[in-house]
Amino acid sequence: MPMQIGLDELLGMLVSRVEDLAVDSENQKSRFNVMFRMLYRKGLFSDKDALEAIREENKILLELGLIKSMPDDKTLKAAADNLMLWIKGDTGEIKRSIEELQKRIKEAEQKSSQPKIETAPAGVLNELDRMGGKKLIL
């Protein structure tokens, strides 16, 4: 006999499952951070090793067709530097980079919300003249 379930019950179950996955993801992230900090402090890998591992990961992704092109060295270095900030636990630098990112996002938002001035080709202006439409010329 089929069981009936309401849409609200189904959505409730799905939201609950997503929340569980988010908590599990955060737990795993914390565990990895702790393990990598221990390994780093024991001298088992360096900043250079992190850069090479990130380069190798991107090479694999490229060969599998999961990315379209290999990131440039500057991008790979930035990714390695960010990873190492977390591993080293450099909270001052992490805060500074978060503030810088927020500043760049705010600047990008301001640029995108500025009014745009568009120009019409001469043919369109001539057509407006023929139609008797008004035009604004600055």
> Could you write out the DSSP letters of every residue in the chain?
-PPP--HHHHHHHHHHHHHHHHHHHHHHHHHHHHHHHHHHHTTS--HHHHHHHHHHHHHHHHHTTSSSSPPPHHHHHHHHHHHHHHHHT-HHHHHHHHHHHHHHHHHHHHHHHSPP-----HHHHHHHHHHT------
The reply to whether the predicted model has a pTM over 0.75 is no
Quote the pLDDT of residue 66.
Answer: 94
Judge whether residue 75 has pLDDT over 80. Answer: yes
By percentage, how much of the chain surpasses pLDDT 90?
62
Mean pLDDT of the 99-128 span:
79
Judge whether residue 134 has pLDDT over 60. Answer: no
Quote the pLDDT of residue 113.
Answer: 72
